[in-house]
Amino acid sequence: MSFLEFQLGDAFTDSGFLPEPASALPLDSVPLRESHKGFQVPVPDLLESREVETNTLQERMKLYVDSSMRGLELRSQPASNRDHDRSAVPGATSHLADREQSLKQMVEVSGNYKPESSDSVISRKLSRILNEYDGRTYQKDQDLRRSFLALEAHRKVLAFNESVLVQPSVMGSLARQSLKSNLEHLLLQNNLTFLENIRPVVNKIQRLSEPIERTLTIGNRVCEKRPTPIPDEVWCRIKDKQEQLQTLKMQKTVLSAVRDSLTLSQIEDHAIRNAEIDTEFLLVVNRIMIIKERATYLLTLPSAEAGKALLKHVNSQLEIANKRIYNYLVDFLYDLQSAYRTFGERSFTSNDKTFVVFRKCLVYLSSDLPYFSEFLKRVVKMRSQAALDNFLSQFDVESSSESKPIILSAHDPIRYLGDVLAYVHSLIVNEADFVNSMFDFQTFDEEEDSPQSIINKNQKFLSELNLKALNDIMVPLENSIRIRLEQIIRFEDDILTNFDIFDLLKLYEMIFTKYGIFEDSTLIRNLNALENVSSNKIGSTLTDTLSTIDTRQEIGADLLPPSWLAEYLTTLCGVFARYEKSSYPEDAKQIVSVEFLNETTGRLVNDKLEEFLHKNFPDMKRNPSEKENFLVAQINCFDNVISKLKPFKSTVFDNDGNILIKVENQMQSSIKALTEFESRLLFQKTGLELYFNLFNMIFPVESVQDELDYDMYLSTLENPIMNLTKIRESVEKPVSDLMPAALDEFQKNKVFHIMSPRIGEQITNTCLRQLLRFYQVFRQVLLHLYPDSQEEVLTVLKFTGDEAAMLFGLSD
Amino acid sequence: MSASRTGKALTKYKIVFLGEQGVGKTSLITRFMYDTFDDHYQATIGIDFLSKTMYLDDKTVRLQLWDTAGQERFRSLIPSYIRDSHVAIVVYDVTNKKSFEYIDKWVDDVKNERGEENVLLCIVGNKNDLVEERQVSTEEGERKAQVLKAKIFVETSTKVGYNVKNLFRKIAKSLPEFQNDSGKLAGLDGEAGKTAPGVIDITTNTEEDTTGGCQC
């Protein structure tokens, strides 16, 4: 850095020689005005002599001196001639010129300034210094080079202008002096800083010097006394002290570790009370939780005082933290609510930082149930209020909503109920979406930041939190929903509509539970209650219809079932058909239960029909004709009931088919009774009744197998009615008259009123077959008993068995 | 009020799927949501619900997909869901002429409930991979869509995953939320787009969906 104070040149090569200061540069030769324009230092003869080999410093010095001397000689020449040379000579000549010439003269010569100025010399020299090396000047050049580099590196700090600095003028000189001054100042400052830095070290050394000196003195003394052995006693004491020291150190380490593990640092304590709620804050809370867990272990110590005190302290800190978390969550909620009111629905992405903190806060707060419940209540209140408003707005006819309002249509109650339930469905899925995004902790993956104790302890609670919140949100809506459904269901009397309502409610019960509504929630209970209302209405409407039937209605001459029976059965079958189509057959069994069947079908057959028939045929026990009509009417009614209900035998009546079987049995009894009645009548008309009874008393006619059995009737000969003459009188004519017309008689008169042709044919066949069977047996027995009067027998019973069968229309 | 505390604005759009039993409504939704196809037919009971969220810059849109049952016994429920829907997708089976003929009835239901202007009507011919069994040509479908003034008509195959994404792209582009945006939607596809993580281009690209196989 000293290059500015001294002349630049080869003189540097000699360490013993101090070059002349730079201020001796020929300032007079440099015009001030041009100092800022590419100033060129004149290089006079040196340039000419470049070709001369100057390998050594001495040679170069010599060259320089010659050149200078030439310059001095030139000074005696006129100013105009020597200007050029003067300006070309640096060093002493310039210095002398400075002293001799006034500023005025300098100005005068400035006009004659030539480019061969001292700047050029300097730059060339500098260039040579920087670029050319030889063994001797190497060290110097290196220093200079380093100095330049240092100067360049600190250009900003030193704030110098190199263009001014290199000027040979006063300005340049001043600038160089200033730079020098600055450099010295900086150097001093650096030294001062260094001294300041080492002052503490010096102080320490000074402080320590005295004890060290003492130690040295003691050491010397000890060394001097070395021949005296240290007693064992002292060694033991030293050892004891060392052990004591070690123990104390260990105790200190342990206590420090305990302190660190059981207390918060000052920063953490500050964070709990004042820091913003964020992940860092939650980490501190997590630490408190861990401390609390550890504190519980202390309670197992013989003295639990420490544990109790620590727990008390930790609990107070937790209380503060939880309160702050609660306030944060409430603020979050209010912000959300405010945005919701202003801008509508909001959503968060799962990686939203604030949202992540919110969810973590919830996990932490879940360990403080009162605060947590309070927060949950607020969430529920906010959401349920919005949901209720939305629900009620659907019924607002003047609503600006795009969709049609839900209006009760008189002819379509199912649509109204469907609209209400469908909207509740969409509300539930919306709320489920919301609570799942906020409170679904089943996939909570921030466990590493959360205390395991909370996660483990509250796992069940947290995992069901979304469902709980959803159910709680729906609670305030339940009453409004129930009212709107109930006002329709309570006043709906149509049985099939009630069945549709039942199915609809069952479907939505299933849907709502699928989306997380608890089965024991009031909403589902309300739906169940309404299902019961509609199902009960189906049964009650039918039983009411049955009760109001007027059984005094007179039966027609055709003995057909009454019109009310047909109507009632149509309604009943409609219910059964709807039951078969029900989407929930298991649930529909609640409606079509055994009790329902007893009430609607059993009562119909056992009470109403019986009542109706007895009222229409009061004298049937006394009057055979009335009894016959009674039986026919009864068979017709039973047949009607069975034919209508039989299609449902495997569905409706599969669980308890007794009712239908009972009706079928009752009908079979009636058929049997009518058959017996008609058969007896037929025997009476043919005059064979007495003989039929007589024969059956001895041996059942139906059991006769072959001719050997005829002998069993030998005893009848003792009976006077078995006289052939008597037989002719009582049988011949009726048989001859009736038998050819018996089939017609039955078909046109007796069973004509029986509605079912199958039953009519069954009765006809049974009666005629019975008559035919007896006729054949009676004829053969008579031929067997009166072998001598066979011709007479054949005249009385002139039709053979085959002929009789043909007349009755029987194949066999 | 911190902006991040209030989340992003969320608009919900209700999309109702209509059509005869077995035309592939549920398959269409399953393909869109999970990019899967189940060979085993299982009839939908009542009404099913699924939702999908899409993002575009600061806009968030949630598509609520309401899958209706095609069975007759659940027909009475469907108008209640059309009542407040924004998009109606009427699906028919290209191998079942009857299901195509019933489109008119479904569209009538939609128009009765929502009018002609308040709903985005889409007609979708599904199962177009069954080339041999085809009973309804694409031209017939297009004509029907024009007659019924449906804004979108596409043929899809949920089995091979043909045109399903395109259908939902077209729907998304027609939503008021995105009509003025030529940006990119995220979350529309199960694969969450290829241009950037969680982002897909809504510009119609018919080639992309045809990877499942050539459709005649």
| A335 with B5: Cβ contact below 8 A | yes
Task: Check if B112 contacts A (Cβ < 8 Å).
Answer: no
Mean pLDDT, chain A, rounded, equals 78
This prediction has a pTM of: 0.66
Clarify whether residues A294 and A331 are in a common domain: yes
Question: Rounded CA gap, B203 and A276, in Å?
Answer: 44
Mean pLDDT, chain B, rounded, equals 82
Q: Nearest CA to CA, how far is B164 from chain A (Å)?
A: 25
The answer to whether residue A199 sits within a structural domain is: no
Helices (H), A225-368: 232-262, 266-274, 279-298, 305-343, 353-365
Residues of B in contact with A403 (CB under 8 A): 83-84, 114
Clarify whether residues A10 and A32 are in a common domain: yes
pLDDT digits (tens, 9 = 90+) for A334-385: 888 787 777 777 777 767 778 888 888 888 888 888 898 899 898 899 889 8
The answer to whether residue B3 sits within a structural domain is: no
pLDDT of B152 reads 94
Question: Rounded CA gap, B11 and B34, in Å?
Answer: 22
The answer to whether residue B200 sits within a structural domain is: no
pLDDT of A438 reads 80
pLDDT of A664 reads 87
Clarify whether residues A27 and A132 are in a common domain: yes
**Which residue carries 């005869």 as its tokens?**
B20
The mean per-residue pLDDT over the stretch B79-96 comes to: 94
- Residue A472, pLDDT > 80, answer yes
pLDDT of B49 reads 93
Indicate the pLDDT class of residue B127, thresholds 50, 70 and 90: very high
Residues of A in contact with B68 (CB under 8 A): none
Indicate the pLDDT class of residue B189, thresholds 50, 70 and 90: very low
Residue B54: its H or E element: strand B47-56
Indicate the pLDDT class of residue A586, thresholds 50, 70 and 90: confident
For chain A, give the percent of residues with pLDDT over 90. Answer: 14
State the Rg of chain A over Cα.
Answer: 66
**Portion 316-335 of A in contact with B at CB < 8 A:** 331-332, 335
Clarify whether residues A518 and A456 are in a common domain: yes
Question: If you count residue pairs, one on A and one on B, with CB atoms under 8 Å apart, how many are there?
Answer: 101
- Residue A37, pLDDT > 50, answer no
- Residue B145, pLDDT > 90, answer yes
Indicate the pLDDT class of residue A89, thresholds 50, 70 and 90: very low
The answer to whether residue A21 sits within a structural domain is: yes
Token pair belonging to B107: 């569209």
Comparing A571 with A228, the larger pLDDT belongs to A571
**Which residue carries 């993580």 as its tokens?**
B197
Comparing A411 with A779, the larger pLDDT belongs to A779
Question: Rounded CA gap, A769 and A811, in Å?
Answer: 10
Question: Rounded CA gap, A586 and A592, in Å?
Answer: 10
For B6, which of A336, A418, A583 is closest by C-beta distance? Answer: A336
The answer to whether residue B45 sits within a structural domain is: yes
Strand B47-56 and strand B87-93: the pairing is unpaired
- Residue B167, pLDDT > 80, answer yes
The mean per-residue pLDDT over the stretch A181-196 comes to: 89
Token pair belonging to B213: 């196989």
In DSSP terms, which residues pair with B91 in a beta bridge?
B19, B124
**Portion 64-103 of B in contact with A at CB < 8 A:** 64, 73-74, 76-77, 79-81, 83-84
Reduce the DSSP state of residue B92 to 3 states and report it: strand
Domain boundary among A189, A208, A228: A189
Clarify whether residues A40 and A176 are in a common domain: yes
Note whether B10 and B55 are within 8 A (CB): no
Domain boundary among A670, A686, A702: A686
Mutate to test the interface with A, among B2, B5, B84 (most CBs of A within 10 A): B5
The answer to whether residue B212 sits within a structural domain is: no
Ranked by mean pLDDT, which of A108-122, A160-174, B43-57, B138-152 comes out on top?
A: B138-152
Clarify whether residues A172 and A70 are in a common domain: yes
Give residue B53's domain range: 12-177
Residues of A in contact with B8 (CB under 8 A): 346-349
The mean per-residue pLDDT over the stretch A467-494 comes to: 91
The answer to whether residue B202 sits within a structural domain is: no
The answer to whether residue B190 sits within a structural domain is: no
- Residue A21, pLDDT > 70, answer no
Note whether B77 and A500 are within 8 A (CB): no
Comparing A347 with A719, the larger pLDDT belongs to A719
Task: Check if B62 contacts A (Cβ < 8 Å).
Answer: yes
**Which residue carries 């395991």 as its tokens?**
A452
| B7 with A421: Cβ contact below 8 A | no
Total Cβ atoms within 10 A of residue A768: 25
The answer to whether residue A89 sits within a structural domain is: yes
pLDDT of A800 reads 81
| B6 with A344: Cβ contact below 8 A | no
| B46 with A353: Cβ contact below 8 A | no
pLDDT of B72 reads 86
Residues of B in contact with A510 (CB under 8 A): 45-46
**A179, HSE (Cβ side, Cα atoms, 13 Å):** 25
Residue B152: its H or E element: strand B152-155
- Residue A654, pLDDT > 90, answer no
Indicate the pLDDT class of residue A86, thresholds 50, 70 and 90: very low
ipTM for the predicted complex: 0.85
Residues of B in contact with A511 (CB under 8 A): 46-47
pLDDT of A4 reads 41
Q: Name which of A459-473, A506-520, A526-540 the model is least confident about.
A: A459-473
- Residue A325, pLDDT > 80, answer yes
Q: Which residues of A550-584 are buried (b: 16+ CB within 10 A; e: fewer)?
A: ebeeebeeebbbbebbeebbebbeebbebbeebbb
Question: The domain that contains B115 carries what CATH number?
Answer: 3.40.50.300
Task: Check if A404 contacts B (Cβ < 8 Å).
Answer: yes
What is the distance of C-alpha A622 from the center of its chain? Answer: 81
Question: Rounded CA gap, B37 and B212, in Å?
Answer: 12
Residue B88: its H or E element: strand B87-93
The answer to whether residue A250 sits within a structural domain is: no
pLDDT digits (tens, 9 = 90+) for A257-293: 988 888 888 888 898 888 888 888 888 888 888 888 8
Indicate the pLDDT class of residue A226, thresholds 50, 70 and 90: low
pLDDT digits (tens, 9 = 90+) for A47-73: 444 445 555 656 666 666 666 666 555
Residues of B in contact with A419 (CB under 8 A): 80, 83
- CA nearest B52 in A: which residue? A433
Token pair belonging to A805: 């069968």
Q: In 3D, which of A469, A591, A461 has the Cα closest to residue A521? A: A469
Question: Rounded CA gap, A129 and A142, in Å?
Answer: 9
Q: By CB neighbour count within 10 A (0-12 exposed, 13-18 middle, 19+ buried), where does A736 fall?
A: middle
The answer to whether residue A259 sits within a structural domain is: no
Clarify whether residues A678 and A776 are in a common domain: no
The answer to whether residue A553 sits within a structural domain is: no
Q: What is the DSSP letter of A555?
A: P
Count how many domains chain A has: 5
- Residue A469, pLDDT > 60, answer yes
Residues of B in contact with A390 (CB under 8 A): none
Phi, psi of B87 (to 5 degrees): -130, 135
Count how many domains chain B has: 1
Going through A555-710 in order, the beta strands assigned E by DSSP cover none
The answer to whether residue A594 sits within a structural domain is: yes
Clarify whether residues A301 and A396 are in a common domain: no
Give the CA dihedral A50, A52, A57, A59, nearest 10 degrees: -130
Note whether A347 and B10 are within 8 A (CB): yes
Residue B52: its H or E element: strand B47-56
pLDDT of B186 reads 57
The answer to whether residue A217 sits within a structural domain is: no
Clarify whether residues A621 and A695 are in a common domain: no
Indicate the pLDDT class of residue A475, thresholds 50, 70 and 90: very high
Task: Check if B197 contacts A (Cβ < 8 Å).
Answer: no
Indicate the pLDDT class of residue A245, thresholds 50, 70 and 90: very high
The answer to whether residue B67 sits within a structural domain is: yes
Residue A415: its H or E element: helix A413-439
Residue type, A121: V
Clarify whether residues A324 and A404 are in a common domain: no
The mean per-residue pLDDT over the stretch B105-134 comes to: 92
Reduce the DSSP state of residue A132 to 3 states and report it: coil
Q: By CB neighbour count within 10 A (0-12 exposed, 13-18 middle, 19+ buried), where does B34 fall?
A: exposed
Question: Rounded CA gap, A5 and A144, in Å?
Answer: 13
Domain boundary among A127, A155, A189: A189
Clarify whether residues A522 and A450 are in a common domain: yes
Clarify whether residues A467 and A528 are in a common domain: yes
| A511 with B47: Cβ contact below 8 A | yes
Total Cβ atoms within 10 A of residue B22: 17
The answer to whether residue B131 sits within a structural domain is: yes
Token pair belonging to A363: 């996990």
The mean per-residue pLDDT over the stretch B89-103 comes to: 95
Give residue A792's domain range: 691-808
Question: Rounded CA gap, B182 and B172, in Å?
Answer: 11
pLDDT digits (tens, 9 = 90+) for B7-21: 677 788 999 999 999
The mean per-residue pLDDT over the stretch A603-609 comes to: 87
Residue A696: its H or E element: helix A689-698
